[in-house]
A = this chain, B = another copy of it.
Amino acid sequence: MEMRKINILRNYQLFPAGSVLIEMGNTKVICSATVQEGTPPFLKNVEQGWLTAEYGMLPSAPNSRFRREASSGKISGRTAEIQRLIGRSLRTILDLSKIPGYTILIDCDVIQADGGTRTASITGACVALHDAIQMMLAQNMISENPMKELVAAISVGIVDGEVKLDLNYQEDSQAETDMNVVMTESGKFVEIQGTAETNPFDSAQLTEMLEAAKFGIDALLKAQQRVIQKK
């Protein structure tokens, strides 16, 4: 099982509480975490905080120019799906009752797109979230660490009948099946999204894909742990 070179750079931007540049091969995403006071209306009268995520792509990021969503006046279904996935994945590892009154905004902006931008976003955003939480603890905004464990994500697929890990754009566009897996340090699943693009897949293939994903997630979690330990 091979995967692309992982690179995680902390403190990438000056202003956000947490800011990370993550590279998975040629895919590059800036992930930031901003802390705001207040929570959304649906949490009125509930003693907890919230985390929400937004995802964007520079028009110049992919190999053929991407129409700017601000110009088209609406977010595509694909963008909406990815934003919801990132938000859900990070909320699962966060004890929201420990950040009462705060909303953490995650921004994932792809500056170069070569496959796997949504999974890179989750992996990178987890580190940015960690740094924002550390800032909140340091400034006594919260008293306990709400982060239960790390989370990372990887794509896996079936290309020409073979299971393949961490697909780049070209592999992804040829894949018969495409699966995104989000897992925690404790080895549990947060999200499995498997889609047969052309041919349905059977149980044996499912098992093989999940094993490959586990292998990739382990490597990503190690990379996260490494950069987090550095001060």
Copies of this chain, whole number: 6
Say whether B58 contacts A107, CB under 8 Å. Answer: yes
Interface string of A114-146 (1 = CB under 8 A from B): 100000000000000000000000000000000
Interface string of A58-88 (1 = CB under 8 A from B): 1111111100111101111111110110001
User: What is the distance, in angstroms, from A2's C-beta to the closest C-beta of chain B?
Assistant: 20
Say whether A54 contacts B58, CB under 8 Å. Answer: no
Size of the chain A interface, CB-CB below 8 angstroms = 66
In the bound assembly, the distance between CA atoms of A62 and B32 in angstroms comes to: 12
Please name 13 further chain A to chain B contacts, defined as beta carbons within 8 Å, in addition to the given A59-B105, A188-B202, A191-B195, sorted by A numbering. Answer: A15-B61, A30-B60, A34-B59, A36-B65, A59-B107, A65-B105, A70-B75, A73-B73, A77-B77, A80-B81, A81-B81, A189-B206, A203-B210
Residues of A within 8 A of B (CB): 13-16, 19, 26, 30, 32, 34, 36, 54, 56, 58-65, 68-71, 73-81, 83-84, 88, 92, 105, 107, 109, 111-112, 114, 179, 183-184, 186-203, 206, 210
